Amino acid sequence: MTAPTTQRPLGDPAGQAGQSANAGLSIIVPVYNEAAGLARLHAEIAAAARSLRETRGLACEVVYVDDGSRDESLVVARSLPADGIDVQVIALSRNFGKEAALMAGLDHARRGAILFMDGDGQHPPALIATLVGHWLDDGYDVVYTAKAHRANEAALRRLGSRAFYGLINWGARQKIPEDAGDFRLLSPRATAALRQLPERNRFFKGLATWIGFRQLRVDYHPAERKHGQTSWSYMSLLGLSVEGLTSFSVAPLRVASALGVLLAVSALLFGLWMVVEAFVYARTVPGYPSLIVGIMVIGGVQLLMIGVMGEYLGKILSEIKARPVYFVAEHSVKAAQDDATRAAAE
């Protein structure tokens, strides 16, 4: 079930953006503590890659980025066979976060088009052919996926997701589609545009939307986790939301301005009411309770807004320092083996 977005540049009819399969496809998979299911996932990705090579002549590679896993994920990744697909394994020097792992994969991808997907198995590799079809056949530059529903998620999580997208899209010229995930394909020219963005504090969902070009949404039903538990707690999701908001949107600053106006209007109305009480009803408004409440409200709002401004200043400081987003501790490449090569090896 698909629903195209309205992001279509003038003079770019359907099909014109479909680049040749000669550009190839790099599948980037960030990995964090996924040792139990990584071999199964790789087998499914390799099967999808072999099918694309046979039906479309599309050369594929998979880039596994181990983001400082504490289990045997790196050991498993090293042992994965290059069965019809090139395999890159990148081990970061420590846990830098998912956005940094995605950037590491983007920097090391050797094919023209890229496809991001998670390493927990909830992004179905069987959908890769569908995304590739929309790129090669329909000429879309960005084909992103979104959950068809969130019925299996807690009410608090659904409410938080709606609040996040509502806030980040408030007044935004280029809105981020709600429920869009990191499972998406970018054509060679969309990939080139993404690589030109210089910021270090990256929010890939927002950046992939911001670059424009022809984009298409594909709804899917995420698979159940076959092993382990998600590492995204409510606190980590809150941290990611703050990171995304302050990296991609000025909505929190607009909220600060709105609160300032609200407090100013409230103070004016309260002052007028005190004048009415004194001159019309001849009553004196008690000063101590109203003073304490006023100080607490104003102080709390000021501290909140200082924190918001601090987040933005921290982003500016990070950009000025220009530290590398990640460090690579290990990098290996395995070339794909075709049927003849495997038979000779055996």
Strands 180-186 and 60-66: unpaired
Going across the sheet that includes 60-66, the strands are 2-4, 215-220, 142-147, 180-186, 113-116, 25-31, 60-66, 86-92, 328-334
State whether 158 and 296 are in the same domain. no
State whether 118 and 96 are in the same domain. yes
State whether 208 and 314 are in the same domain. no
Number of domains observed in the structure of the chain: 2
State whether 190 and 313 are in the same domain. no
Cα gap 57→76, rounded to integer Å: 29
Helical H runs in 5-139? 35-56, 73-79, 98-108, 128-136
pTM: 0.69
Instruction: Name residue 218's beta-bridge partners.
Output: 2, 145
Q: What is the pLDDT of residue 144?
A: 85
Q: What is the pLDDT of residue 181?
A: 76
**Residue 49 covered by a domain:** yes
State whether 212 and 89 are in the same domain. yes
pLDDT tens string, the chain, 346 residues long: the values are 444 443 434 334 344 333 466 778 999 999 888 888 888 888 888 888 888 888 888 888 999 999 888 888 888 888 888 888 888 999 998 888 888 888 889 888 888 889 998 888 778 888 888 898 888 888 888 888 887 666 666 666 667 666 666 666 665 666 777 777 788 899 888 888 888 887 777 777 778 887 888 888 888 776 665 555 555 555 555 555 666 666 666 666 667 777 777 776 776 677 677 677 666 666 666 666 666 666 767 777 777 777 777 777 777 776 677 778 888 888 988 887 665 444 444 4
- Which of 86, 96, 71 has its CA nearest to residue 28? 86
**Residue 242 covered by a domain:** no
**Residue 195 covered by a domain:** yes
State whether 341 and 313 are in the same domain. no
State whether 332 and 316 are in the same domain. no
- Which of 13, 2, 18, 15 has its CA nearest to residue 217? 2
Burial of residue 229 (CB within 10 Å: 0-12, 13-18, 19+) is: exposed
Residue with tokens 């309205």: 6
**Residue 10 covered by a domain:** yes
State whether 280 and 227 are in the same domain. no
State whether 278 and 333 are in the same domain. no
Q: What is the pLDDT of residue 10?
A: 35
Strands 142-147 and 215-220: parallel
State whether 169 and 224 are in the same domain. yes
Run of H or E residues at 65: strand 60-66
Q: What is the CATH number of the domain that holds 58?
A: 3.90.550.10
Run of H or E residues at 258: helix 251-279
- Which of 270, 266, 263, 269 has its CA nearest to residue 299? 263
Q: What is the pLDDT of residue 4?
A: 41
Helices 251-279 & 234-248 angle (0-180, nearest 10)? 90
Q: What is the pLDDT of residue 7?
A: 41
Q: Domain span at residue 284?
A: 251-321
**Residue 239 covered by a domain:** no
**Residue 293 covered by a domain:** yes
**Residue 278 covered by a domain:** yes
Give Cα separations from 94 to 30, 58, 69, 326 (angstroms): 13, 34, 8, 8
Cα gap 95→104, rounded to integer Å: 12
State whether 170 and 41 are in the same domain. yes
Residue 256 in tokens: 């600060």
The DSSP-derived string for 144-186 is EEEES--TTS-HHHHHHHHHHHHHHTTT-SSPPPTTEEEEEEE
**Residue 238 covered by a domain:** no
State whether 32 and 131 are in the same domain. yes
Cα gap 322→320, rounded to integer Å: 5
